[in-house]
Amino acid sequence: MIRTNPFFAMVTLCVLPFTLVLTSDSHAEWTSFRGGGSSHGTASLPTNWSEDSGIAWQRELDGYGQSAPIVHEDAVYTTSVKGSMSESCLVQCHDLATGVLRWSFTKESTHRHPSNYMNARAAPTPVVDDEGVYAFFETGDLFAVDLQGKLLWARDVSKSTGKFDNSHGVGASLAQNATHLFLNLEHGGPSFLTAIEKRTGKSSWTVERESSKSWSSPIVAEVNGVEQLIVSSGGSVTGYDASNGDVLWSLDGLEGNSVPSPTLAGDLLLIGARLPEFAGDGDAQSNCCLDLSQIENGKPHVAWRADKAICEYASPVVANGHAYFMNKANVLHCLFVIGD
């Protein structure tokens, strides 16, 4: 489960599991997983690099982290866990220009979780804003630290769910708006989508979700003048009112969409999904494009469905009018978002 972040010229977790490599951009902002659901940046990026070329700096991280790094102003933030049972949860801050470690915050895990290649290890990507860094871990720990590494608040999410029952652990990343964090937690036990106040760590609203094993992350988007929280998981995609959790629209029949996260491009929403078991050619109908400007009878208009393009684990990427779907065999499909 190695994750890359397409914003940077080079952001990757290398084969040596504790090494982070990235380039410097003093004007960079990449404050959440996949840039908040857009999955692409506008910088000029190199297509080749080595130890001697294309790398501004490289640092070894403390612990093991599968989350993507996030960037705010002149700093890059990472999360990781330490110990064979993930005994410690870490947030670290490095200088974006030089890679120098500014601070490291460690919190003892509330619940132990096996740390091995079959389980998530600090897989959820944190979010950052002007006030702090907000991190969620598969140990059930959700906490906030300020931009100097001081703890603001902490809570145990598993108090509401019991022990997480999810193959390979939890992987859904946080989403955010100006005032709240959004966490979609689906597993074999009680599952929910919740809005959490950034200032206090308390939930403002919570809606139940069906129990299903999912790693898809929600995104926040403004659609038709309303700020929405969009979740693609468990065979459906749903738009919730970000202010109160009310369902605004929903579309079912999207088998295999519990790993890739949705991608927004204006009013269009790209949905990625794995190929259903025992499916054949032409059965990849869950990989599709929805037009959120056209909602009728509580359902968005399906602009098109892909008959061969499959996402498997990676989320769709949209850039310059093209949609990109990568399957587990490393086959990349490029489709026109609109037109042919």
pTM for the complete prediction? 0.88
pLDDT per residue of the chain (340 residues) written in tens, 0 to 9: 333 333 332 333 332 333 444 444 445 789 999 998 887 777 777 778 888 888 888 888 888 888 999 999 999 999 999 988 778 999 999 999 999 999 999 999 888 777 777 677 888 999 999 999 999 998 889 999 999 999 999 999 887 766 766 666 788 899 999 999 999 988 666 788 999 999 999 999 999 888 677 888 999 999 888 999 999 998 999 999 999 999 999 999 998 888 899 999 999 999 999 876 656 555 568 999 999 999 999 999 999 999 888 888 899 999 889 999 998 889 999 999 986 5
Separation between Cα atoms, residue 280 and residue 282, nearest integer Å? 6
Whole-angstrom distance, CA of residue 300 vs CA of residue 294: 6
Distance CA 18, CA 112 (A): 20
**Joined tokens for residue 201:** 């760590």
Cβ contacts of 33 within 8 Å, gap of 6 or more: 67, 68, 70, 124, 125, 127, 173, 174, 175, 217, 261
- pLDDT at residue number 324: 94
Predicted pLDDT at 269: 95
Strands (E) across 178-309 are located at: 180-185, 191-197, 203-209, 219-223, 226-233, 236-241, 247-252, 263-265, 268-271, 288-296, 299-305
Q: What was the pLDDT predicted at 114?
A: 76
pLDDT at 284: 63
Provide the pLDDT for residue 209. 85
Q: pLDDT at position 3, please?
A: 36
